Chain A
Amino acid sequence: MHSKSAALRLHVESTLVGRMASPFRLTQNELPITVPAGIPLLDQVTGGLPRGGLTELYGPASSGKTSFLQSALATRTRTASAEVCALVDAQDSFDPACAQSAGVALKQLLWIRCRTLDNAFRSVDVLLNGGGFGMVALDLSDTPARLVRQIPLNVWFRLRRTIENTSTILLVLSRESNAKTCASLVLRLERETVAWSLRHSLRASGILHTPACLLDGWTTATEIIRSSSRRRKLHFLNQSTIPEDQDHVRFTLRSKEIHSHLPDQERVKDPG
């Protein structure tokens, strides 16, 4: 029996000579390089955003997708790496003032304001083929889900192949999951409890400009739908410090605060 299997192995190896080296050796792909997204709890569980891979973030409105995006942009543009990032805004929803207060260096950000889904994908295609960006974000959050579903899967495959073996992070925000297995990391976000301070004072006081209630923020629950780096770790190392059932992470988003350690916001005069 052993001689038969050895003969068969020899026969296969001799047939594949020149076409495949060591056909019986299991090749292990290297783990992708990941970078932090700026949310410590999430980075600890997921390992961060993979370079050269597609990360998909989906969820309903007010689930925290844009907050995640701004945190990632701030981390890429403001920290020691100071990379150049691009945002393809399919419905022109980006708020520069909010982004700057969140720590995004606007000078390091290329903002592409689209009005149609076709323009958005064409812009992403040109950006990824041009190369050199640390992160390219495609924001489809306000695009109706039925339109995004019409994008064929091969488009997502092509985007993934374009950034393979590069150091660019492709981050896609949408209402539903569309990239499927093309994505290296898929996260589903859902808003849980909303924090309102002074809730008992729902009625406005007599003076209009005195707020009766404050929106403090909310807690977002994140479910890790797919993570190629984490699955590989669990499969091969079997010694992961991450609990195997920890597919859910909760993090809190706070409303805008005044950060005294940030420099004065740079503003320009209206050119008219």
Chain B
Amino acid sequence: MAFAAIFVPNFIFQSIARSEPELRIQPVAIIEGSPPTYQVTAYNRLAQILGVNSGMTKASAEQFAGVQIRHRSSAQENIAHMALLDAAWSVSSRVEDAAPDTLLTDIDGLARLYGSEEEIARRLLSRVSELGMDANVAVSANVETARILARAVSGLTIVSPGQEWRFLETLPVAMLAPSPQLAEIFQRWGVTNCKSLASLPVLALSERAGQEGVRLRTLASGRGNRPLLIAQPADSFLEFFELDDAIDNLEPLSFLLGRLLQQLCARVSARALSVGRVQVDFALEEAFESTIVPSRESRGARPSPKTFSCTLQLPVASSDATLLLKLLRLRLQSRPPGAPVRKISMRAEPARSRAVQSGLFAPVSPDPQKLELTLARIAAVVGQSNLGSPQLLDTQRPDAFHMGKFSVAVSASPPLQEASRATQTAFRVFRPPLPAWVQVQRNVPVRVALQGTLGTVVHASGPWRTSGDWWEERSWQEDAWDLEIQFPVGSETPQALYRICYDLLLEKWWARGVYD
């Protein structure tokens, strides 16, 4: 049996530094409470050197030059804890969620995958580091010993079976987390470290300190073992960031979005998954004008911030943060939030990674991930509605189609084999149809004016009457003519073969298009 314990020291600070890595090289104090009685609850080493300590008021902490003040965020701690779980699950499926800053994993049987216990522990360390935190990892055959050593010793600790007591003997009794009453008793007895506690007789200890004392003695001697309470892997990935000052510019917003996407993609990739869908919710700041007009209803009530949502649905799951950021930027450029952003919440839905083997004789086709980016870029130029694959509608109405979403079929249907096909005349549509003036003699058009130029009809074919949708509001009825029209030499409108239609309902002539 082998267990690994992961402990994140100074978890409150690390959960915030995960979103703001630059804080690691600055003195930082984390405050908690309600104004005006904010108190320092956590701080990093640089702040400690300056003199910041727990319980200090916010005003006192601000006296130190260069100290960054941050509010404690339970949401950030939850997300950091979920990221820690993702790191542990990426190595072992048997993980116990012991504490927000502590995980216990069963690494038995992973030697074939990852190698020795030390290599497994280093992999755990690197996975946690990739997700933005520094941790201690301890490996032992005894789960409680591993847990205690991860908290007590920084870095990597590997305990050989049967040698647990050697690692524990010099640790203070406080590392075993005794109750205050027991701690006082041990202090009176002069029991200060685990070695002295482990050497106490069991019967006498149980009489004076009870079962709790016996349990602590077992832990101190490195023999406390128990089964893990396995945690279930989560299937949602959430990251969020709250700003002190609202942002209304896309550039700094993109920087934050990129950071969140990197963290999300790292967590998703750690679980051997990809991102199938990303939903970003922005909490917006109220506009200044709306805050200076007090109304009877709003007086005394704090207005709730507006929200703006943006969803990316990927046709092919991807864990490329750069690609996702580009798609998100293009989406926000075409449809911006409309107000300064105060808070960003980003949720990713995982999906299985696609594994497709390219065929040697497969036809040329765009890469699905690259195609998504190409389509987003073109949509930013021409608009989403002017891009796609045309789909003909189930009607005889002229020029009836719908723009469907363009995608590359993974398994294309067999193409048609056409034997011989005469080249067919094509038709070009005028959108919208051009108004035309037509002179008719003996029911045949003889002269046509288009775009201010008068032409003579050389040949005419028609009329062809079409009508439909009589049972609906959008019914149509028209007579169509195929006309060869000759315009004066040098005119803008060339001589060509046109289709001119007479709308019987509107009683107007239109040029529908030209044969080419």
**Contact between B395 and A270 (Cβ–Cβ < 8 Å)?**
yes
**Contact between A95 and B426 (Cβ–Cβ < 8 Å)?**
yes
CA distance A101 to B496 in the complex (A): 22
Q: Which residue from chain A places its CB closest to the CB of B375 in the assembled complex?
A: A110
User: Could you say which of B66-74, B158-166, B289-297, B396-404 contacts chain A?
Assistant: B396-404
CA distance A69 to B497 in the complex (A): 18
In the complex, which residues 369-384 of chain B have their Cβ closer than 8 Å to any Cβ of chain A?
A: 370-371, 373-375, 377-378, 381-382
CB < 8 Å neighbour of A84 from B365, B391, B431, B443:
B365
CB < 8 Å neighbour of A211 from B394, B406, B461:
B461
Q: Which residue from chain A places its CB closest to the CB of B442 in the assembled complex?
A: A203
User: Could you say which of A111-119, A152-160, A232-240 contacts chain B?
Assistant: A111-119
In the complex, which residues 401-425 of chain B have their Cβ closer than 8 Å to any Cβ of chain A?
A: 401-404, 406, 408-409, 412, 415-419, 421-425
CA distance A168 to B412 in the complex (A): 20
- Contacts A123-B381, A196-B459, A204-B444 given: A131-B370 contact, CB under 8 Å? yes
**Contact between B464 and A209 (Cβ–Cβ < 8 Å)?**
yes
**Contact between A211 and B423 (Cβ–Cβ < 8 Å)?**
no
A138 on the interface (CB 8 Å rule)? no
A228 on the interface (CB 8 Å rule)? no
B494 on the interface (CB 8 Å rule)? yes
- Contacts A110-B406, A126-B381, A211-B461 given: A257-B497 contact, CB under 8 Å? no
CA distance A209 to B466 in the complex (A): 9
CA distance A107 to B408 in the complex (A): 9
**Contact between B459 and A194 (Cβ–Cβ < 8 Å)?**
yes
B417: A residues at CB distance < 8 A: 79-80
**Contact between A194 and B484 (Cβ–Cβ < 8 Å)?**
yes
Q: Which residue from chain A places its CB closest to the CB of B372 in the assembled complex?
A: A130
B425: A residues at CB distance < 8 A: 64, 67, 217-218, 253-256
- Contacts A62-B497, A132-B364, A217-B425 given: A270-B394 contact, CB under 8 Å? yes
**Contact between A82 and B370 (Cβ–Cβ < 8 Å)?**
no
A181 on the interface (CB 8 Å rule)? no
**Contact between B366 and A84 (Cβ–Cβ < 8 Å)?**
yes
A62: B residues at CB distance < 8 A: 494-497, 514-516
Which DSSP category, helix, strand, loop or mixed, fits chain A's interface? Answer: loop
A213 on the interface (CB 8 Å rule)? yes
CB < 8 Å neighbour of B366 from A133, A194, A209:
A133
- Contacts A123-B378, A267-B394 given: A209-B515 contact, CB under 8 Å? no
**Contact between A61 and B514 (Cβ–Cβ < 8 Å)?**
yes
B9: A residues at CB distance < 8 A: none
**Contact between B392 and A266 (Cβ–Cβ < 8 Å)?**
yes
A230 on the interface (CB 8 Å rule)? no
Binary flags per residue of B349-380, CB closer than 8 Å to A gives 1, else 0? 00000000000000111110011011101100
Which DSSP category, helix, strand, loop or mixed, fits chain B's interface? Answer: mixed
Binary flags per residue of A53-75, CB closer than 8 Å to B gives 1, else 0? 00000001111111111110010
**Contact between A67 and B516 (Cβ–Cβ < 8 Å)?**
yes
CA distance A265 to B377 in the complex (A): 31
- Contacts A93-B429, A105-B415, A267-B392 given: A71-B423 contact, CB under 8 Å? yes
A132: B residues at CB distance < 8 A: 364-367, 370-371
CA distance A194 to B421 in the complex (A): 20
**Contact between B416 and A262 (Cβ–Cβ < 8 Å)?**
yes
| Closest chain A CB from B382 CB (angstroms) | 5
Q: Which residue from chain B places its CB closest to the CB of A63 in the assembled complex?
A: B516
CA distance A77 to B428 in the complex (A): 20
Binary flags per residue of A67-101, CB closer than 8 Å to B gives 1, else 0? 11111001001111111100000001111111111
CA distance A97 to B363 in the complex (A): 25
**Contact between A126 and B377 (Cβ–Cβ < 8 Å)?**
yes
**Contact between B415 and A112 (Cβ–Cβ < 8 Å)?**
no
B418: A residues at CB distance < 8 A: 78-79, 103, 261-262
| Closest chain B CB from A215 CB (angstroms) | 4
Give chain A's interface residue range (CB within 8 Å of chain B). 35 or more
A129: B residues at CB distance < 8 A: 374
**Contact between B392 and A97 (Cβ–Cβ < 8 Å)?**
yes
CA distance A144 to B451 in the complex (A): 13
**Contact between A215 and B494 (Cβ–Cβ < 8 Å)?**
no
B213 on the interface (CB 8 Å rule)? no
CB < 8 Å neighbour of A142 from B408, B409, B428, B460:
B428
B55 on the interface (CB 8 Å rule)? no
Q: Which residue from chain B places its CB closest to the CB of A259 in the assembled complex?
A: B421
CB < 8 Å neighbour of B424 from A126, A142, A255, A265:
A255
B391: A residues at CB distance < 8 A: 96, 106, 266-268
B482: A residues at CB distance < 8 A: 215
CB < 8 Å neighbour of A212 from B388, B461, B513:
B461
A134 on the interface (CB 8 Å rule)? yes
| Closest chain B CB from A164 CB (angstroms) | 16
| Closest chain B CB from A190 CB (angstroms) | 12
**Contact between A107 and B389 (Cβ–Cβ < 8 Å)?**
yes
CA distance A144 to B464 in the complex (A): 31
| Closest chain A CB from B77 CB (angstroms) | 42
B255 on the interface (CB 8 Å rule)? no
Contact sample, A vs B, 28 pairs, CB 8 Å cutoff? A60-B495, A61-B514, A62-B514, A67-B426, A67-B516, A77-B415, A81-B363, A82-B363, A92-B386, A94-B390, A96-B392, A99-B426, A103-B416, A106-B389, A114-B386, A126-B374, A126-B378, A130-B374, A144-B492, A194-B484, A196-B459, A204-B443, A204-B463, A208-B443, A211-B461, A211-B462, A215-B515, A257-B424
Seen from chain B, the residues whose Cβ lies within 8 Å of a Cβ on chain A are 363-367, 370-371, 373-375, 377-378, 381-382, 386-395, 399-404, 406, 408-409, 412, 415-419, 421-431, 442-444, 459-465, 479, 482, 484, 492, 494-497, 513-516
- Apart from A39-B423, A63-B516, what are 7 other A-B pairs with CB-CB below 8 Å? A80-B417, A82-B412, A100-B392, A123-B378, A196-B461, A257-B424, A267-B391
